[in-house]
Amino acid sequence: ALLLAAAASPSTWSVAGSGRHTDNATALLLDAQSIMEVANFAMLATHASAGPDASSGIASDINTRIVSPKPIVQVTDASGLAVIFIDTNNMSRKYTEIEDGIVARGAARVNLLYYDKDGVGYVSMRGNATICPDEEARQEWWDGWTPFYPE
């Protein structure tokens, strides 16, 4: 399994459902963290690698799939939640789309959405995805991915 690191700043976050803390970045991120912990899974959207506009460097489609991000480190200030680790492998469409985005545009723009159905809240963030080097992937490995990658 390979890991993707999606990075976003607080200005690219949307949080709904908490009904509070919209003027304080740290408190907003704490609300986001609580929704992310309850949601467990997220949807990762990437630009398609191929399509009618692919030759111009602009992907024509958006592809989304369910992912199981690694649980995040406790937020302590406004710089919290800067990196989210997501699992995939180098044979997946997501991996290819992110790799192609980096090559074609210098960055693979993604959107990551967590949804708390019972709490009726969500966290949506956009940012750049990168492919972690093997050493970092081993270091950031989360045992919750073992059912998907038993080797």
* Model pLDDT for residues 102-117, shown as the tens digit of each residue: 998 888 889 999 998 8
Of residues 44 and 118, the one with the higher pLDDT is: 44
Band of residue 11 on the pLDDT scale cut at 50, 70, 90: very low
Nearest to 10 by CA among 21, 69, 117, 137: 21
Gap between the Cα atoms of 96 and 75, Å rounded = 31
Query: Per residue in 81-105, pLDDT tens?
Result: 778 899 888 888 889 999 998 998 8
